[in-house]
Chains A and B, each alone.
Chain A
Amino acid sequence: MPDLRVLLQDNPGKRVLLLGNEAIARGILEAGISIVTTYPGTPASEIGDSISAIAAEAGLYMEYSTNEIVATEVAGGAANCGVRALTAMKHVGLNVASDFVMTLAYAGVRGGYVIVTADDPECYSSQNEQDNRFYALLSNLPCLEPSDPQEAKDMTISAIEISEKLELPVLLRTTTRISHTRGPVVYGRLKKSNLKGEFIKDVKRLVMVPANSRPKHPVLLRSMEKAKEISETSPYNTVVLEGKNKEFGLISSSSAYNYAVEAADLLGLDADVLKLGMTHPLPEKIIGQFLKRHGKIIVVEELEPYLEMQIKAIAKDYAPNVEIYGKMIKPYFPRDGELSTRIVVTGLAKITGKKLPIDFGKIDEKFGEAARNLPPRPPILCVGCPHRASLYVMKKVAGEKAVYSTDIGCYALGAAPPLSAGDIMTCMGASIGTAEGISKVTDADTFALIGDSTFFHAGIPGLINAVYNNHKVVVAVLDNLTTAMTGHQPHPGTGTTGMHTSTEKVSIEKVAEGCGVKYVKVVDPFKVKEAEATLKEALKHSGPSVIVFRSPCALMVVRERRRKGAKIVVCKITDKCTDCMTCIKLLGCPALIFEDGKVGINEALCVACGLCASVCPYNAIECEETD
């Protein structure tokens, strides 16, 4: 959607095609949420980005916070002044924020506060596929789960109302297939934002020292009892389909609900379907009555058996003889990966003994033949990406024996051949601490590769640790001046805010110096020789060192050139070329091609970064400086 201002139209009843995340942004405007904080992460990014695009006009405040815990602290602080707030993050972001959120549940909030967690079954853009519904159980916070963009919008508003009724933060849990599905959304009325709050001092409520937090725990548990009443009467927890077949009853939520209904339809199952939209706390009575009405219950849910476990516990009191099918004891549905109509219809057929209407085996066999030996096409570093240059330089200087501890960001793509500069990667900021452990117990040269946004997010404590405990690691900050992977959001080093105002640029090199690092250098990765010399020096340094490889993201450079109408003089291969393949084999740049036995340049792709010219052993590639 190029013009997000469509989100600002105050015309209730209008039907618009919105991405799930854009629908949440619309929900923010209809709920009168006035402060929105986020750290970008797929599949949550478009929530913050949509709000960033319209915040000033809508009269609300939006910020890209340094990381998810800071984002929840800022929003939680504002919510405790009575202002409606929302924080959006990807699922693993909630791990970062959880320290604050777990105890905020004790203190509570005065203004409505919604925490959006966007889970990523199938790990499309993530390092794991954890099921964050368990955070609702763990923290005793209510949780809503939309199944489509319309519900994503509506539940944002409901979540705020529930939050204010209970004075508790509320989790709104989406998945990739909710956040990144477009569907029709019918607008409601916009609500005016209100950014003016009042901090009311209340030590017993807000200062979570043991004497105060101890009595807050039973208060929280009592709130959960109230939340249960809300869940029992929630319009989101209802039997949505009544079938003629009363033998089976289906219970489902979120994305899984969509597959379940379509799969049941394909099989002609004609069973009752109980849809759960408020999944913490569960509506025990509604579920109990549903169990009583059916001999067999099928629970269809994505990832962990979160519903199934609790439904089995409810069954013990309400309908001890009911048979419950799901994924716990006999796995009719998988516990890993995302579901699909195919997976669900296959599971349902097995449970009900009905014949599958589609011969998937035959399709697989035929497809297997057609797709045999198909070359993979994984995501790769873009043409002109400065990370390619930085990683090339590191590999050239330190070679295969060095250990490259890498981090979350585009540069993680450099773990793939031919650069193969990524030996271990776990979560945001982990590159530095992990490298320290490796360097302590091995003789290898140890690098920590970390992006600019990731450095601010969670890299700094690791760096301080390197100084304090004198770990000999080279921290390579791959600074492309943006948060590239998630869609070019600004960060503390960019000098721009989520409100599109100018601000102080936090300098990575000064932060490093301030942390006490004695060897700090900034290099341009495309000046290959200089970068090599600096890196060699850093490796000789006795303690931790920091090298900032600074060059803007190639996508931003190309966009800027296009905007200015600048002409790009692409690299040229001269007749000195011996087709030795060095450039292709070292760099894996998509603009370098091999056709009819000759190395060539794809002129439509080349952005004249000149890296290939730097690595050519025969000086056979010419590249002019393009400004």
Chain B
Amino acid sequence: MKEFNIILAGVGGQGILLAAEILGTAALKEGLNVRVGEIHGMAQRGGAVISNIRIGQKVLAPTVLEGQADVFLGFEPLETLRNLKFASEKTLIIMNEERITPTELTAKMIKYPGLREIGNKICRFTKNIVTVDAAELAKKAGNVLTENVVLIGALAATKKLPVKSESILDALRELVPAKHLDVNVKAFKFGYEFVKKGKTRF
């Protein structure tokens, strides 16, 4: 492996920073070199958020180059579109189906684009798409705030990561407060099993 690049894109409040920290910590646990590039502060308040993870011995820059994402966790469909420049035909996209309507669309009474339409646009970049109803699975796990961990579980199930699931779960145990751990482990499993069962591609 020369390098492995992950993009996480979504909306402030969806737990993207924690998801990136979990994946970065898991990579470190396996002795890999890693950079996690993120933005804090003002950008977070309900705005578009992106986090970069780069794994590999020679990796220095904290941001992924256009077209070079190996996997792409789309936490929200429009935010997936917004960051497609990081994808190419080699990229695997795991996309949450939960739609968060930008306030501008609400104010202008414009309908949020259909999932099929968004899927078609993504297909022009890559055919490797897995969609997950992470909100539903997170609720089933016991807390809607665990969407991020559902998506990590889904990613782990694809076997694309250069990191073992056990390391991810170890990182989860380290980073999630003890009282929320069970729900998060469940969320990971639900995401994992959902992808294992298949039937999720466009």
In the bound complex, do residue A374 and residue B78 qualify as a contact, i.e. CB atoms below 8 Å apart? Answer: yes
Q: A17-B28, A340-B63 are in contact. Are A2 and B175 (CB under 8 A)?
A: yes
Residues of B in contact (CB 8 Å), total 55
Interface residues on A, range: 35 or more
In whole angstroms, how far apart are the Cα atoms of A176 and B60 in the complex? 15
Which of chain B's residues have a CB closer than 8 A to the CB of A367? 84-85
The reply on A588 being an interface residue by CB < 8 A is: yes
The reply on A421 being an interface residue by CB < 8 A is: no
In the bound complex, do residue A342 and residue B35 qualify as a contact, i.e. CB atoms below 8 Å apart? Answer: no
B177 → chain A, closest Cβ, in Å? 6
The reply on A379 being an interface residue by CB < 8 A is: yes
The reply on B104 being an interface residue by CB < 8 A is: yes
B23 → chain A, closest Cβ, in Å? 10
Interface string of B112-125 (1 = CB under 8 A from A): 00000000011011
In the bound complex, do residue B79 and residue A377 qualify as a contact, i.e. CB atoms below 8 Å apart? Answer: yes
A229 → chain B, closest Cβ, in Å? 29
B85 → chain A, closest Cβ, in Å? 4
Contact of B47 among A46, A257, A374, A377 (CB under 8 A): A377
Interface string of B146-184 (1 = CB under 8 A from A): 000000000000000000000000000001110000000
Nearest-neighbor residue (CB-CB) of B79 within chain A: A377
B134 → chain A, closest Cβ, in Å? 13
B138 → chain A, closest Cβ, in Å? 11
In the bound complex, do residue A358 and residue B65 qualify as a contact, i.e. CB atoms below 8 Å apart? Answer: yes
In the bound complex, do residue B45 and residue A382 qualify as a contact, i.e. CB atoms below 8 Å apart? Answer: yes
The reply on A441 being an interface residue by CB < 8 A is: no
Which of chain A's residues have a CB closer than 8 A to the CB of B106? 584, 592-594
The reply on B1 being an interface residue by CB < 8 A is: no
In whole angstroms, how far apart are the Cα atoms of A45 and B42 in the complex? 12
In the bound complex, do residue A375 and residue B110 qualify as a contact, i.e. CB atoms below 8 Å apart? Answer: yes
The reply on B200 being an interface residue by CB < 8 A is: no
In the bound complex, do residue A382 and residue B46 qualify as a contact, i.e. CB atoms below 8 Å apart? Answer: yes
Interface string of B58-93 (1 = CB under 8 A from A): 101111011100000000001101101100100000
Contact of A180 among B39, B61, B82 (CB under 8 A): B39
In the bound complex, do residue A593 and residue B47 qualify as a contact, i.e. CB atoms below 8 Å apart? Answer: no
Interface string of A411-425 (1 = CB under 8 A from B): 001000110000000
Which of chain B's residues have a CB closer than 8 A to the CB of A604? 144
Nearest-neighbor residue (CB-CB) of B177 within chain A: A2
The reply on B36 being an interface residue by CB < 8 A is: yes
The reply on A203 being an interface residue by CB < 8 A is: no
In the bound complex, do residue A377 and residue B41 qualify as a contact, i.e. CB atoms below 8 Å apart? Answer: no
The reply on A464 being an interface residue by CB < 8 A is: no
Which of chain A's residues have a CB closer than 8 A to the CB of B78? 374-375, 377
Q: In the complex, which residues 357-394 of chain A have their Cβ closer than 8 Å to any Cβ of chain B?
A: 358, 360, 363-364, 366-367, 369-371, 374-382
B111 → chain A, closest Cβ, in Å? 8
The reply on A209 being an interface residue by CB < 8 A is: no
Which of chain A's residues have a CB closer than 8 A to the CB of B144? 604
The reply on B15 being an interface residue by CB < 8 A is: no
Which of chain A's residues have a CB closer than 8 A to the CB of B33? 184
Contact of B37 among A180, A381, A485 (CB under 8 A): A180
In the bound complex, do residue B34 and residue A486 qualify as a contact, i.e. CB atoms below 8 Å apart? Answer: no
In the bound complex, do residue A184 and residue B34 qualify as a contact, i.e. CB atoms below 8 Å apart? Answer: yes
Q: A379-B44, A380-B46 are in contact. Are A261 and B60 (CB under 8 A)?
A: yes
B15 → chain A, closest Cβ, in Å? 13
Which of B66, B121, B125 has the largest number of chain A CB atoms within 10 A? Answer: B66
Contact of A183 among B34, B41, B42 (CB under 8 A): B34
In the bound complex, do residue A265 and residue B104 qualify as a contact, i.e. CB atoms below 8 Å apart? Answer: no
The reply on B191 being an interface residue by CB < 8 A is: no
Q: A17-B21, A124-B41, A363-B66 are in contact. Are A182 and B34 (CB under 8 A)?
A: yes
Which of chain B's residues have a CB closer than 8 A to the CB of A584? 106-107
The reply on B16 being an interface residue by CB < 8 A is: no
Interface string of A259-299 (1 = CB under 8 A from B): 10110010000000000000000000000000000000000
In whole angstroms, how far apart are the Cα atoms of A382 and B61 in the complex? 32
Q: A366-B125, A370-B124, A377-B48 are in contact. Are A258 and B61 (CB under 8 A)?
A: yes
Interface string of B18-52 (1 = CB under 8 A from A): 00110011001000011111111111111110000
The reply on A590 being an interface residue by CB < 8 A is: yes
Which of A369, A378, A585 has the largest number of chain B CB atoms within 10 A? Answer: A378
Nearest-neighbor residue (CB-CB) of B118 within chain A: A370
In the bound complex, do residue B37 and residue A177 qualify as a contact, i.e. CB atoms below 8 Å apart? Answer: yes
Q: A2-B176, A418-B107 are in contact. Are A125 and B41 (CB under 8 A)?
A: yes
Which of chain B's residues have a CB closer than 8 A to the CB of A486? 41
In whole angstroms, how far apart are the Cα atoms of A366 and B85 in the complex? 8
The reply on B142 being an interface residue by CB < 8 A is: no
In whole angstroms, how far apart are the Cα atoms of A358 and B67 in the complex? 9
30 A–B contacts, CB within 8 A, in A order? A1-B175, A2-B177, A15-B28, A17-B28, A17-B36, A43-B41, A124-B42, A176-B39, A180-B40, A181-B62, A257-B60, A341-B65, A358-B67, A363-B67, A374-B82, A375-B105, A377-B46, A377-B82, A378-B47, A378-B48, A379-B12, A379-B42, A379-B45, A380-B47, A413-B45, A485-B42, A585-B107, A593-B101, A594-B106, A604-B144
Residues of B within 8 A of A (CB): 11-12, 20-21, 24-25, 28, 33-48, 58, 60-63, 65-67, 78-79, 81-82, 84-85, 88, 101-107, 109-110, 121-122, 124-125, 144, 175-177
8 closest A-B pairs by CB: A42-B41, A379-B47, A125-B41, A182-B36, A258-B60, A379-B45, A181-B62, A367-B85
